[in-house]
Structures are given as structure tokens and as C-alpha cells.
Amino acid sequence: MKVAIIGGGIMGCATALALVERGCEVVVLERAVPGAEASSAAAGILGAQLELHGRGEDVELYLRARTAWAPWARSLGEATGIDVGYRACGALRLAFNAEQHAQLDRDVSWQREHGLHAESVDGHRARQVEPALSGDVVAAAYFPDDAQVDPPSLLRALMAALARDPRAEVRGGTTVERLLLDRDRCVGVKLDEGEVRADATVLAAGSWSSLVPGVPPSMPAVRPVRGQIVQLDERPPSVRAIVFGAGGYLVPRGDGRVLCGSTMEHAGFRREVTASGVHAILGSALACVPGLGGAQVVATWSNFRPHAHGDRPLVGASALPGLFLATGHHRNGILLSKVTSDEVAAAITGSLPVTG
């Protein structure tokens, strides 16, 4: 079976790998450089518990997604020799006042009732876990099982794994102009030059998914939500866990690099880092860990989270036969990448016989 994949971000590349592992022939069509958009810009938080916010419907999915990560990171590392930076570093959500403290306590009790590891600690105990935290922190929720990965390394490992498989082809600099339709079925894609005919086509074009001509009008619209990141370098490293608080987050890589994020902006496709974005991000970071004030600013960037109308990722078969979706993962595309790619690959290989 031949599969064409539109987009070479985490969704396109992970789905390609899941498909070749199931015996399919795959071509990934990426208009720029694979991994160059949201997927490499992400902070890499695998924040299954951080992101639950009491939404019962996501519990099973988020936990399954997180559980899939440790073995996947290991197997990618073994297959390619590239360390994807998976670390089960734990995460803290901070409270700076009584109202936030009460909310944390509710979240923690709800998660513990669901059998999850979560602890509510006072400010003193939080500073025993992370001594660099601000003295203004009155309490914290601690999620020891949340983890992180380094997205640029992850994308490099996926590309390396695909490059080793003769059934996979990744074409950078190749824009999909539209879906090819034949009697109400998607039969591949039309490119800027030529076309690719395929038994199945996967739409994994991130924030640009709704812009590919031919996608069914019933598909919920996917729109960009801009996020900015500021990367710091502090020596020696002072923080180990992921820290959420004061409207932002910190992701320490363990070697002195600290990613500080992020904004949530409806700014179209304006790939800008703004003064107010950096101001807000660094304000939050320093409110959580004041000692970061002496860290060096080494990089800033922004990119676009693909947000699907209705707030749910679009995964699996679409209303158009032959077209499958792997898009709309918004804030949690890295967390959800392995389970999404497996689900889409299973949907495709279950829908048509695998001919090798």
C-alpha cells in the first residue's frame, strides 16, 4: 500500500514511521524543511497531568500518550543513535495566593481519586524540591510522572529513522497544491510539479491544514495560535523540574538551557517575537525563579500551534474516503504524537489490505 503524507512535522514524520513499520510505502511531502515549523519550536513538555485541568474526557488519552513515550524514546535512540532528550523530570504547578492554592488542591485531589501520582505541597516543601523557587510561592502541585523531550532532537531522530527505511521517502521543498479527487475519493495529491497517486493520503499540515484545497468542508477548521519562546542559559543549572506558574512555564533541559514560554496569540501566520511577548514570558519566569535574572538570553522564536475548532485533535478517517487526518493537536502535539501516529496507521492499514 502506498501512502502520501502532507506535512513533515511531528505528525507527518511519526505517522510515516508507524506506517513503514506496518509494511506500507510512504512519501512525506514537506513544502519547506521537515520539522521546521511548530514541531521543532515546541517546548517538549509531556505534561499529561499538567494539562488535565479537571477534564475527565482527556485522562485516558493523555496518560496513554505519556506512557507510550519512554519506550518510543528508547527505540528511536537505539535505531538512530540520537538521544531525543526524554527525561522523566516531574513538573510543579505553583500557587502564589490562597485562591490558586485552593485550585491546586482541587486538581490534586481529583487526580489522586483517578489513581494518579500527584501531591500538594506547601511553599517550604516546594523549595525543598526546587530550592531556586521564589519565596513568594505559597504552595505547589507536584506531578512526578510528567516528563519532557527535546523536539529538535526528536525530529532529527525521526528523519534518521525514515532515511534508513527504503520504504520511506521524505521530499523537502515540495508543496502540495491540492488533493487529487476521483469520484468522491482522495487518490493522492497534486504537487507544484507533478502529482503523487496513493492508496491513502494523510493530512498532517499543522496550522495550514485547512488551507490545502480539496479538504472536505465538514472538517473542523484548523487555525494558528502563536506561541513565543525565550531560551535562557544559566550556569550552573538551578532548576530540574518543569515549572508552571505566574502565567508561564520553564522547561530546564538539565544542562543549563531553560526554555521559557509561552504566549497564546491569535496573530494569523505572523512569525514574530514581540516585545510584549518577551516581557510577559520573562516576567513569569522570574516570578517563579528570580535567580534566572542573571541567565543569558540565547535565543527567541515563535511558531503556530494548530488549533482545531471544537478543541479536539482531528485523528483518523475523514469524511472523504482515502483521506486521513493527523492534525489539530494545539498545545499537546508532542505529547500526543506517538498515540496519534499509531492510531492513524492502524486506521489506514485496517481500511485497505497491506500489499507491502
Interaction between residue 11 and ligand FAD (CB under 6 A): yes
Q: Using DSSP, state whether 180 is helix, strand or coil.
A: strand
CA atoms of 328 and 65, how far apart (whole Å): 16
Interaction between residue 329 and ligand FAD (CB under 6 A): yes
Written as nine digits, the cell of 132 is: 531556586
Strand partners, 13: none
User: How many residues interact with ligand FAD (rule CB under 6 A)?
Assistant: 44
Strand partners, 23: none
Minimal CA–CA distance to 226: which of 275, 271, 281, 276? 271
DSSP characters over 132-189:
TS-TT--EEEEETT-EE--HHHHHHHHHHHHHT-TTEEEESS--EEEEEEETTEEEEE
Of positions 31, 87, 93, 223, contacts ligand FAD by CB under 6 A: 31
Q: Least distance to ligand FAD from the beta carbon of 127, Å?
A: 25
Q: Using DSSP, state whether 270 is helix, strand or coil.
A: coil
Query: How many other CB atoms are there within 10 angstroms of residue 297's CB atom?
Result: 12
Of positions 17, 186, 204, 280, contacts ligand FAD by CB under 6 A: 204
Toward ligand FAD, which CB reaches closer, 43 or 161? 43
Of positions 26, 45, 196, 314, contacts ligand FAD by CB under 6 A: 45
Toward ligand FAD, which CB reaches closer, 127 or 253? 253
Written as nine digits, the cell of 209 is: 491544514
Interaction between residue 315 and ligand FAD (CB under 6 A): no
Interaction between residue 30 and ligand FAD (CB under 6 A): yes
Per CB under 6 A, contacts with ligand FAD among 242-281 are 261-262
Q: Are 325 and 186 in contact (CB under 8 A)?
A: no
The torsion angles phi and psi of 139, rounded to 5 degrees, stand at: -165, 170
Per CB under 6 A, contacts with ligand FAD among 102-121 are none
Per CB under 6 A, contacts with ligand FAD among 162-191 are 175-176
Interaction between residue 331 and ligand FAD (CB under 6 A): yes
Residues forming the site for ligand FAD (CB under 6 A): 6-12, 29-32, 36-39, 41-45, 175-176, 204-208, 212, 227, 229, 261-262, 303-306, 327, 329-335
